[in-house]
Amino acid sequence: MTLHPAFAQLLMPQRSAVIYAFKGVISMALALFVAMYLELDRPYWALVSAVFLQVRPESGLVIEKAICQIFGSAIGGVVGILILAYLMPYPMLALGCLTLWIGLNSAAGTMMHSTNFIYAFAMAGMTAALVVILVMVNASTASSQSVFEIAQARISEITVGAICAMLVSQLLWPVKVKDGLRGHARNVINKSLDYLALELDPEGSHDDRHQHADEILETLMLLTDDSSAVVYEGPEGPGRARASNLLCNKVMSLLAVVQILGRFQRNHAELMTPAFRELLARVREQFQAIAATDSYEEGYRLAQALRRRLLQYRSDHEASSPIESRMTQAALELVADLVLVLRAYNALENRDNTLLKAAKLKPHRDLLLGATNGFRTALVFLIGAFVWMQTASSAALMLMILPVVFSIMFARLPQGIQSFVLKRLLVGVMWAIPVSLFFALGLLAQSSGDFEILVLVLAGPYFAGLLLLAERPTLPYGLGFCIPFTIITQPANNMSFSIDTSVSTALGLFVGVSVLFWVFRLVTPPDSLLMQRRLLKATAADLKDIDRHDQPEDWFNGRMGDRLLKLANYDQGTGTRDRYMTDLGFTGLNLGHVSIRLRRLIEGRRTPQVETRLRRWQMVLADTYLLSARGEVSSDFREASHALLRALHGDAEADPQIANVEGMFERLALTFERTAHTIAEATGKRLPANEPVEGNAAAS
């Protein structure tokens, strides 16, 4: 019999989870002690603050989240004061402005990928709501001084919890971000090497390639998120962050370049000479050998040996066609990027000052998605505000606070995962209610009121909740338990133990999270196909803009990482097996790299005429990409390529680099035609009678 994950985690926790829970209890006890010692108005908000910081226990991440929490709370407090300063006599307008502020924070949080930065926006919305609502509850006695005192108290409580959690994280059994970075880096390199070998395997399957690519993209985004926090871990932190960013950037380059070789081998084997086919087999074997080694030095030596072998091949073999010349150059570029990936991995532990700074992978920002999530969070708040205005119940306050925080925090999750997380969150709330009402408050009502007794009674439930927080699958249960448990018990210097108030608060929390669940079910993001089309259009726009940046490869890689992951998630959500939208995303990544390498090849030939033709070629490249994504074939790209080639030839003598460019153009033209036919076949479009139909493995 298999235990439910939550029961398995509670009954058979790992040693690391026990340490994590023990540290969490200490940090929360310390936060409560300091808040009560300072006689803050609501010490339990310090506990709520400390709980949120337990979600990721690594020291650098805790410091970063504490900074985000304090900064977001301060901004929210200031906004709350400003709303009340101008609109206190007009409660409806004040609630309207507060709703707008919460919606804007939710929309802005959607534009982030790092959980810590999203959390800063959640705190900005929650603190402003707390300040405005707590003043409006007692509007008849409100004054400018009382408004300031409430804002100061909320910020102080949240700051106390953040600082206490940060201190405990640093001083007791510290867990470092750098260890996680090396683990993620090792994982992504191994997966990338497996993917490189799979792409070059003529017998490799389309599904296996996509599975490997999806895992690589997910790990890359984890690596990117954590790299911002490693800077807080000593003087070596910034160097590790740069190495992590370079590794992510160059893995994106690997994904772009290897598909040139893989797709060419699968779809145009008739254009390959036996010598080149044998070369690709040797390259694949070497990738497998590098993956099998457990030593950086050995892997680096094998990669350098492979690079020398490719250089030797290029000097000893005359290319039979321009396209084979281009393929040989692509193999060299692939190995050069792999060497940089290995060096970046080594720099995560050993300083390497020769590594160049690379751009960080950035989240894709879609205003339509941001507006949708902002509206959804604002709707959650408005429902709570309506209930509060109709009932004047203190329980309704919980409908306006906690669901808003969860809505902002979970908005960026894929739609299928959102439902899964919210269900588990609701289960956690359901368990928190009886434990807090019948266990914690029942015992505390009979105690002497000493702080020691308070901590002893609360420690058990918190320890169980933190055990659930320690593992990703059970994290929503732990979060749904710990936060409501804190708000229902409301530990403080003078606890009232009013069963009416506690039950009312518990009911408000349950209804609030239930409302959140159903709003997420009913107000969904735009259709996945529409969002995928917008992602492809954004990629085409970047292709047109690629010549305006000093480091175009880093810039383009940084913008494509999250974009590709979104395309993959949308494809997985639709349940289709062909995954042609993800293939189109990788084609866009490849086109960006080809554009950049073209400029390197013709660097010494960029006359005014060439510049004009190059700009025209780049525009046509992006437009043809979008046409092929709709299953349409166009001859414009071949014409623009021929025009650019004529301008490059001029009166100059034959140049091997121009032959390389010619092969590049031919390969791209084949890719566009193949992609258009694949999309037309997948979507049921009628193909032009004069166009040959190629196999539907083309886009893979």
Digit-coded pLDDT (tens) for 441-477: 888 888 777 888 899 999 999 999 999 998 888 999 9
Residues 6 or more apart whose Cβ sits within 8 Å of residue 142:
84, 88, 135, 136
User: Tell me: the pLDDT tens digits for 381-423?
Assistant: 999 988 888 887 777 777 888 899 999 988 888 777 888 899 9
Q: Residue 486 — pLDDT band, cuts 50, 70, 90?
A: very high
Mean pLDDT of 621-636: 90
The DSSP secondary structure of 365-382, one letter per residue, reads --HHHHHHHHHHHHHHHH
Residues 6 or more apart whose Cβ sits within 8 Å of residue 145:
none
Token pair for residue 492?
């403080």
In whole angstroms, what is the distance from residue 335 CA to residue 338 CA?
5
CB atoms within 10 A of CB 501: 14
Residue 700 has pLDDT above 50, yes or no: no
Cα–Cα nearest to 251, from 557, 496, 460: 557
Residues 6 or more apart whose Cβ sits within 8 Å of residue 67:
none
- DSSP, collapsed to helix, strand or coil, labels residue 184 as helix
Helix-helix angle 91-110:367-391, to 10 degrees: 150
In whole angstroms, what is the distance from residue 17 CA to residue 353 CA?
37
In whole angstroms, what is the distance from residue 100 CA to residue 95 CA?
9
Token pair for residue 38?
């300072």
Residues 6 or more apart whose Cβ sits within 8 Å of residue 529:
570, 574
Per DSSP, 413 falls in state S
- What pLDDT is attached to residue 683? 73
Cα–Cα nearest to 180, from 151, 223, 214, 213: 223
User: Tell me: the pLDDT tens digits for 528-563?
Assistant: 788 889 999 999 999 999 888 888 888 898 889 888
Instruction: Record the pTM.
Output: 0.85
- What pLDDT is attached to residue 653? 53
Contact 69, 52 (CB under 8 A): yes
Exposed/middle/buried for 548, CB within 10 Å: 0-12, 13-18, 19+?
exposed
Token pair for residue 219?
């790990």
CA angle 555, 663, 544 (to 5 degrees): 30
Cα–Cα nearest to 225, from 165, 168, 177: 177
Phi, psi of 395 (to 5 degrees): -65, -30
In whole angstroms, what is the distance from residue 278 CA to residue 281 CA?
5
Q: Residue 697 — pLDDT band, cuts 50, 70, 90?
A: very low
**Which is more confident, 585 or 2?**
585
Token pair for residue 535?
């992602």
Residue 151 has pLDDT above 80, yes or no: yes
Q: Residue 105 — pLDDT band, cuts 50, 70, 90?
A: very high
- DSSP, collapsed to helix, strand or coil, labels residue 176 as coil
Residue 600 has pLDDT above 70, yes or no: yes
CA 436 to chain centre: 35
CA 616 to chain centre: 35
In whole angstroms, what is the distance from residue 469 CA to residue 635 CA?
57
CB atoms within 10 A of CB 33: 17
Place of tokens 């990703």: 472
- What pLDDT is attached to residue 685? 60
In whole angstroms, what is the distance from residue 502 CA to residue 483 CA?
14
Residue 124 has pLDDT above 90, yes or no: yes
In whole angstroms, what is the distance from residue 169 CA to residue 214 CA?
33
In whole angstroms, what is the distance from residue 238 CA to residue 542 CA?
29
Helix-helix angle 44-52:15-37, to 10 degrees: 150
- In this structure, of 309-323, 347-361, 521-535, 669-683, the range with the lowest mean pLDDT score is 347-361
Per DSSP, 55 falls in state S
Token pair for residue 394?
């203190």
User: Tell me: the pLDDT tens digits for 163-193?
Assistant: 999 899 888 888 888 888 888 889 999 999 9
Mean pLDDT of 132-136: 87
